[in-house]
Amino acid sequence: MQYRFRALVTLDPQGADASRRRYDVGTRHLLVYAWRLDESSHGKYLPALILSDGEQLEPGRSQIATIVVTDDEALAYLAPGQVFTLWGQAAGRGIISRRIFTDQSPS
């Protein structure tokens, strides 16, 4: 199952060429690390896809994005106000603003 969330995401700058490096609209192969909502001592890596709103993701710049998580336990770790870190092709951090629901099926 896929769960979709809107979030404010900031990718970490990467070295001297960080101002020139941008990530495609669909940045893949990322893991979201978040702490369990009811037990902050337990964290988990969740596989994710980050989708920006038609712009490339730029390191050091905070941008609104959609996070698609494919872990069945996503709702135990992600909810509005929850902070998270990103690992993979890019590193960064973010905060969930809301969960997205679709007409076709629960997300």
Q: How many CB atoms lie within 10 A of CB 96?
A: 20
Q: How many CB atoms lie within 10 A of CB 80?
A: 12
What is the per-residue pLDDT across 78-89, written as a single tens digit (0 to 9) for each? Answer: 999 999 999 887
Domain annotation covers residue 105: no
Query: Residue 12 is part of which domain span?
Result: 3-100
Provide the CATH number for the domain around residue 82. Answer: 2.40.30.10
Distance CA(67)–CA(71), nearest Å, equals 12
Distance CA(47)–CA(54), nearest Å, equals 22
What is the per-residue pLDDT across 48-64, written as a single tens digit (0 to 9) for each? Answer: 988 887 777 888 889 99
Domain annotation covers residue 107: no
Domain annotation covers residue 46: yes
Domain count for the chain, please give it: 1
Please state, rounded to an integer, the average pLDDT across all residues of the chain. Answer: 84
